[in-house]
Each structure stands twice: as C-alpha cells, then as structure tokens.
C-alpha cells in the first residue's frame, strides 16, 4: 500500500477536527438550550404560572370590541321613555342625534338593548335614573293657555300651571289655544305613546256650544255619514244635544280622531261655528269638578284603567 503523503495526512486530520468541532458545538447548543429551558421552567414554577407557555401570540389576544348590546335587556329608546325623556319616537331621535352614551360610549343603533340596572346611561352628559313609579296628571286647561311646556313669546303654558314640581312630565295630546278642558300629562313615555297613537282609538268627549239651532238630523248625519274635510272623511261616535235656544246649541260629542281642531272643523264645515269647546273625558279619565287652571295626580286605579284602555 502506498504511503500517504504529508499533505493527505494533514487533510485527514483537519476533517476529523472539523467533525469533532461540529459535534462539540452542536452538543454545546443542545446543552445551552436545555439549560435555558430548565431556567425558564424553574422561573415559571416559582411564579406558579405554567399556562403562559401555551399563550397565543399577543396579536391574537386583543381586547374584544366594546359591545353594549344585552340580548335579554330593554330597548334603549324604551328605557329613555321610561326615564321621562318623551315619547318613544322622541327618544329614538335622541339616539340618532348622538346625545346618548352607554358606559362612556356613544350609541347610535336604535335596536340596542341595555340593562339600566348594570349599565351607565347618559343623555347630554347627565346620567338617567328610572323612576320606581310614574306620575300621571289630569289638568284643566283654561282658554288662552298653550298646550306646550314653554313659549318663546312668553305666553302662558302648561308649565305655568304645574310649576317645577314635576320636571319630567309632558302632555299627552293638545287642545288648541281657545279650547278648554282635560289634558293628561305623564312622565311615562310608553303610556303617552299609546294614548296618542291612532291605533288604540282612545275616545275623547267634548261639550261644544255651537252657533245656531242644531237639529237631531244633523247629529245623526255626523254619526252615520260624517263629513268630508280637507284631510279626509271623519265621523262622530256619538252626538247628543244637551240644550239649545234660538242662538246656540250645546252638544256632547264623542270621537276617536285626534286631528288638529277636529271638532271645530266638523261643525264649521256645516255652518255651525263653535263658540266654546271643553274636553271633559279621555278614555276612562274624567275632568270631573277640577277647576280651570288646576291639576291633580291620578290614582293608581285610574292609571291602571287608562293602561288597560290602551293595551298596556
């Protein structure tokens, strides 16, 4: 066998050294990794938190989007109405106008349900508080008083009658400036919506004093046929002559319609101008002996009867 040259022996030694060096480095890396893992294990063992090793990357642990919707809650606009901010429709507009916050965030979705006992609800920056019980008033509006809560021209309004004791109440329906009688007021938005909505057909009773001598035939026509006004046909539910002389007739009328100035327009269309008009009843609630310019709080029995009338 030929003898190896000096150069061949050196190459062979270098290859052996390289293999030993690589093996040694690989072994050192394994030992180093193992040592690091042992130190890590000991550290987490001392901290009592081994679950951290299986955590997802930070980008997958983002906080969930703030969602104030409560599936078993109450619609936000209903909560606002119950708190005395007006009818359901008015409360919906408050939401759409960006004036309502839930837990510090603006809510613009009308379908949002909330839990008022657990969530902080603000309107125009002020926290709302639900009433344990609602207030409903019967008020006798005199002539020359507006059926509003304020007037920029300084005329008398319903607020001048009830004062500031009941800040959240609002009127359910109106009487025109020259008409008198019963107006219901409440801080219960849901009750107000039902009383005013044509769907529930709440009866209203008026005593009208008309110019001229009204005949029974005219009353029957108004009940059975009705009259055609600018905004469509309308009939009375009842028409009863109470008293009359050569110049005037006093008549009691009952109807469901809540259209503006409807009684005056009905009789005026037949040539009988209304000289005086007093509303005496809304549903089961009667004006009774309540004096003009005064009001009273409805009893729980009266409120219950009104709620029953409108399907609540």
Residues 262 and 144 in one domain: no
Does 251 lie in the same domain as 152?
A: no
Q: Are residues 219 and 160 in the same domain?
A: no
Are residues 148 and 189 located together in one domain of the fold?
yes
Integer Cα distance of 32 and 21 in angstroms = 16
The answer for residues whose C-beta is within 8 angstroms of residue 36's C-beta and 6 or more apart is: none
- Percent of the chain exceeding pLDDT 70 equals 76
292 and 170 within one domain: yes
Same domain, 161 and 296: yes
Output the CA torsion 195→201→202→203 (10° steps). Answer: 160
Tell me, yes or no, whether 190 and 140 share the same domain: yes
Cβ(184)–Cβ(195) under 8 Å?
A: yes
Residue 57 covered by a domain:
no
- Give the DSSP letter of residue 1: -
CATH number at residue 87: 3.10.290.10
Shared domain check, 109 and 168? no
Any domain includes 235: yes
What is the β-pairing status of strands 238-244 and 100-102?
Answer: unpaired
What is the mean predicted confidence (pLDDT) over 265-287?
96
> Is the model's pLDDT at 10 over the cut of 80?
no
The contacts of residue 155 (CB under 8 Å, 6+ apart) are: 144, 145, 146
Report how far residue 251's alpha carbon sits from residue 276's, in angstroms, rounded to the nearest whole number.
Answer: 11
168 with 119, same domain: the answer is no
pLDDT: which is higher, 309 or 46: 309
Residue 1: pLDDT over 80? no
Contact (Cβ atoms closer than 8 angstroms) between residue 248 and residue 210: yes
Q: Which residue has the tokens 């809304």?
A: 282
CA distance 56 to 62: 11
In which domain, by residue range, is 106 found?
74-127
CA quadruple 240, 199, 70, 169: dihedral positive or negative?
A: negative
Q: Do 165 and 297 fall within a single domain? A: yes
pLDDT in tens, 146-158: 999 999 999 999 9
To which H or E segment does residue 81 belong?
helix 76-82
> 304 and 257, same structural domain?
no
Last residue of a domain, one of 100, 127, 154: 127
Same domain assignment for residues 174 and 292: yes
Question: Burial, 243: exposed, middle or buried (Cβ in 10 Å; 0-12, 13-18, 19+)?
Answer: exposed
Task: Flag whether 108 is in a domain.
Answer: yes
Known catalytic residues are 176
| pLDDT (0 to 100) of residue 294 | 97
Per-residue pLDDT at 63 exceeds 60: no
Q: How many distinct structural domains can be found in the chain? A: 3
* Domain membership flag for residue 234: yes
Residue 42, H or E segment: helix 6-47
pLDDT, mean of residues 228-243: 94
Q: Which helix (H) or strand (E) holds 34?
A: helix 6-47
Q: How high is the pLDDT of residue 107? A: 92
CATH number assigned to the domain comprising residue 267? 3.30.70.1560
Dist. CA 205–CA 256, nearest whole Å: 9
Position 222 scores a pLDDT of 96
Q: 163 in a domain, yes or no?
A: yes
* Apex 259 CA angle, 193 and 298, nearest 5: 45
Q: 100-145: per-residue pLDDT in tens?
A: 999 999 999 888 999 887 888 999 998 887 665 688 999 999 999 9
Q: What is the pLDDT of residue 48?
A: 43
pTM for this one? Answer: 0.62
Residue 154 lies in a domain: yes
Q: Which residue has the higher pLDDT, 292 or 20?
A: 292
pLDDT tens per residue across span 165-190? 888 899 999 999 999 999 999 988 88
- Give just the sign of the alpha carbon dihedral 158, 164, 166, 169: positive
State residue 150's pLDDT score: 92
Q: Is residue 60 part of a domain?
A: no
pLDDT value at residue 57: 41
Is the per-residue pLDDT at 265 higher than 90?
yes
Kindly report the three-state secondary structure assignment for every residue of 237-288. Answer: CEEEEEEECCCEEEEEEEECCCCCCHHHHHHHHCCCCEEEEEEEEECCEECC
CATH number of residue 150's parent domain: 3.30.70.580
Has residue 192 been placed in a domain?
A: yes
């Amino acid at each position: 066998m030929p003898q190896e040259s000096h150069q061949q022996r050196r190459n062979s030694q270098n290859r052996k050294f390289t293999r030993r060096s690589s093996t040694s480095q690989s072994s050192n890396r394994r030992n180093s990794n193992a040592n690091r893992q042992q130190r890590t294990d000991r550290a987490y063992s001392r901290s009592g938190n081994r679950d951290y090793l299986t955590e997802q990357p930070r980008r997958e642990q983002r906080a969930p989007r703030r969602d104030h919707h409560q599936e078993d809650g109450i619609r936000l606009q209903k909560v606002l109405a119950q708190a005395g901010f007006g009818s359901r429709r008015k409360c919906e507009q408050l939401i759409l106008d960006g004036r309502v916050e839930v837990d510090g965030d603006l809510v613009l979705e009308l379908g949002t349900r909330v839990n008022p006992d657990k969530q902080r609800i603000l309107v125009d920056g002020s926290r709302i508080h639900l009433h344990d019980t609602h207030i409903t008033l019967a008020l006798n509006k005199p002539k020359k008083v507006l059926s509003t809560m304020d007037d920029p021209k300084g005329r008398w309004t319903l607020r001048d009658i009830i004062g500031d004791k009941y800040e959240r109440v609002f009127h359910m329906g109106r009487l025109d400036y020259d008409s008198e009688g019963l107006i219901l007021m409440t801080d219960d938005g849901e009750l107000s919506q039902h009383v005013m909505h044509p769907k529930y057909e709440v009866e209203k009773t008026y005593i009208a004093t008309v110019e001229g001598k009204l005949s029974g035939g005219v009353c029957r026509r108004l009940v059975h046929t009705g009259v055609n006004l600018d905004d469509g046909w309308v009939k009375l539910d009842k028409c009863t002559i109470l008293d009359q002389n050569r110049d005037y007739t006093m008549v009691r009328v009952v109807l469901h319609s809540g259209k503006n100035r409807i009684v005056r327009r009905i009789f005026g269309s037949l040539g009988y101008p209304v000289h005086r008009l007093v509303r005496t009843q809304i549903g089961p609630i009667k004006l009774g002996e309540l004096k003009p310019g005064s009001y009273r709080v409805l009893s729980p029995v009266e409120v219950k009867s009104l709620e029953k009338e409108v399907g609540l």
